[in-house]
């Protein structure tokens, strides 16, 4: 990976890299790069137990870098709980994913002289393919169809009896898990007994599918050739646009606070909207959120925002759950302003306080934040994080993907 001439850290002692783990590790310790860099770094796999234990350990740990993990947030409320316990030797915070809203890179540089690195654009394709899945589900209502076919009407003819229906009814649960809750589970009070589900078509009137292809009065459609607005047009938003444009011939619009991307840099031709007050918003069929979290995007999708779009717009969120005002979201679903949605992120997900109303909706496809939940992603994330380490400590370049 590098020559002996780069091995300054060996002469000065190995920098200690603290890797935070609990019951799950996200680090690919079996790859060649790990073994090679173990010659130059002291990797410490620290098992998280309590915030207090970590706070006690850190001041005398002598660490040079902290490798964060998703498990960290299951034990510690946030980064602020440990900042004042970090030793002076700590110079690098490693984030093995893209999002960094839980940290303040500018403050970490100014107050603690800490560099923050993430993995750059290397997970964009993974988030994009999940956004495509959620988009298809929004238009074709595939989550409803699978649930219906598996549990409500396990025959082709029986399932199709729901087409043309205009109402919902309260139904009992299909299955309730038994036994004690797992460490990271939360009791969904109020929705473990019943939920709303579409009724079968009630009348005997002849059904014209060309005009009445609906489930509980919600239209099924194809996303082919539709108009999509992507909010958050960084590497992930651009990757989503590429797949929807080239694969589904959708017309791509985007809004980006930093302005339009340079012409000719993408293999498709999206249209930049300088403002969300643009008249085009009223013609958008699908809104995809690929936004970061933080004060600038919190509750961005609210009643005022939704009023700019036509009734029956569909929403996909693969960015951050904090971007959606959930009261406005559910009101929109009930009124028909929002036809359907597909979500992989939620407010309160880190504290297991996801709004129970999500689990009572048949018209929302729900995924448990799995945008990068597969083995080869963790291998890639480990490789990029190791390159950040090598760049910072061995080559003196400041990291491959520094954020400050």
**Residue 267 sits in a domain of what CATH number?**
3.40.50.720
Instruction: Render each residue's pLDDT in the chain as its tens digit; 404 residues.
Output: 433 333 334 445 799 999 998 888 899 999 999 999 999 999 999 999 999 999 999 999 999 999 999 989 989 999 999 999 999 999 999 999 998 989 999 999 999 999 999 999 999 999 999 999 999 999 999 999 999 999 999 999 999 999 999 999 998 876 544 555 555 444 444 445 578 899 999 888 999 999 999 999 999 999 999 999 999 999 999 999 999 999 999 999 999 989 999 999 999 999 999 999 999 999 999 999 999 998 999 999 999 999 999 999 999 999 999 999 999 999 999 999 999 999 999 998 877 789 999 999 999 999 999 999 999 999 999 999 999 999 999 999 999 999 99
Same-domain check for residues 90 and 215: no
Residues 128 and 264 in one domain: yes
Judgement on whether residues 309 and 361 belong to the same structural domain of the protein: yes
Q: How far apart are CA 266 and CA 23, in angstroms?
A: 41
Q: How many domains does the chain have?
A: 3
CA-based torsion, 102, 105, 107, 109: positive or negative: positive
Q: Distance between CA 106 and CA 102 in Å, rounded?
A: 12
Same domain, 314 and 339: yes
- Is 349 designated active site? yes
Q: Is 356 exposed, middle or buried (0-12, 13-18, 19+ CB in 10 A)?
A: middle
- Using CA of residue 232, residue 234, residue 236, residue 238, what is the dihedral sign? positive
320, 326, 361, 390: the catalytic one is 320
**pTM for this one?**
0.89
227 in the same domain as 215? no
Q: In what order do the strands lie in the sheet with 65-67?
A: 42-47, 16-21, 65-67, 92-94, 115-117
Q: Concatenate the DSSP letters of all residues of 370-382 into one string.
A: -TT-SHHHHHHHH
Q: How many CB atoms lie within 10 A of CB 56?
A: 12
Rg of the chain over Cα atoms, rounded to whole angstroms, equals 24
Indicate whether 132 and 259 sit together in one domain: yes
Q: Given 6, 140, 243, 369, which residue is catalytic? A: 369
Residue 7 lies in a domain: no
Is residue 206 domain-shared with residue 98, that is, in the same domain? no
Tell me if residue 147 is catalytic.
no
> Token pair 């860099």 is at which residue?
37
- 3-6 long-range contacts (CB < 8 A, ≥24 apart) are 6/394, 6/395
Same domain, 196 and 226: no
All residues at 6 or more sequence positions from 279 whose CB lies less than 8 Å from its CB, including other chains: none
Partners of 94 in the β-ladder: 67, 117
**Residue 146 included in any domain:** no
Annotation says 369 is catalytic: yes
Q: Domain containing 207: what range?
A: 160-174+191-219
Question: 231 and 164 in one domain?
Answer: no
User: Active-site residue among 101, 161, 283, 349?
Assistant: 349
């Amino acid at each position: 990976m590098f020559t002996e001439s780069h091995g300054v850290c060996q002469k000065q002692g190995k920098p200690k890299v603290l890797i935070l783990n609990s019951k799950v590790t996200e680090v690919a310790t079996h790859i060649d790069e790990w073994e090679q860099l173990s010659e130059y770094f002291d990797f410490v796999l620290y098992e998280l137990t309590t915030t207090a234990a970590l706070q006690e350990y850190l001041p005398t740990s002598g660490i040079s870098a902290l490798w964060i993990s998703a498990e960290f947030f299951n034990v510690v409320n946030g980064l602020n709980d440990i900042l004042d316990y970090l030793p002076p030797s700590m110079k690098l915070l490693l984030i093995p994913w893209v999002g960094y809203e839980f940290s303040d890179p500018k403050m970490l540089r100014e107050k603690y002289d800490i560099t923050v690195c993430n993995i750059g654009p290397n997970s964009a394709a993974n988030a994009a393919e999940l956004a495509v899945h959620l988009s298809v589900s929004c238009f074709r209502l595939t989550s409803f169809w699978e649930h219906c076919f598996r549990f409500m009407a396990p025959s082709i003819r029986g399932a199709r009896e729901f087409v043309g229906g205009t109402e919902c009814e309260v139904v009992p649960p299909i299955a309730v898990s038994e036994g004690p809750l797992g460490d990271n589970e939360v009791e969904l009070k109020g929705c473990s007994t019943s939920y709303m589900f579409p009724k079968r078509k009630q009348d005997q009137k002849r059904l014209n599918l060309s005009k009445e292809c609906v489930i509980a009065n919600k239209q099924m459609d194809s996303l082919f050739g539709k108009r999509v607005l992507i909010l958050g047009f960084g590497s992930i938003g651009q990757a989503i646009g590429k797949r929807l444009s080239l694969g589904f011939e959708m017309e791509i619009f985007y809004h980006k606070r930093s302005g339009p991307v340079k012409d000719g840099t993408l293999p498709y031709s999206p249209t930049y909207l300088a403002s969300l007050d643009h008249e085009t918003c009223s013609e958008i069929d699908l809104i995809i959120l690929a936004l970061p979290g933080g004060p600038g995007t919190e509750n961005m999708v609210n009643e005022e925002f939704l009023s700019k779009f036509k009734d029956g717009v569909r929403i996909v969120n693969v960015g951050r759950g904090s971007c959606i005002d959930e009261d406005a979201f559910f009101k929109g679903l009930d009124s028909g302003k929002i036809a359907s949605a597909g979500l992989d992120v939620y407010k309160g997900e880190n504290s297991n306080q996801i709004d129970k109303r999500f689990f009572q909706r048949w018209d929302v496809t729900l995924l448990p934040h799995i945008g990068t939940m597969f083995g080869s992603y963790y291998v890639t994330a480990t490789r990029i994080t190791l390159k950040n380490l090598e760049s910072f400590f061995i080559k003196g370049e400041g990291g491959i993907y520094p954020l400050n």
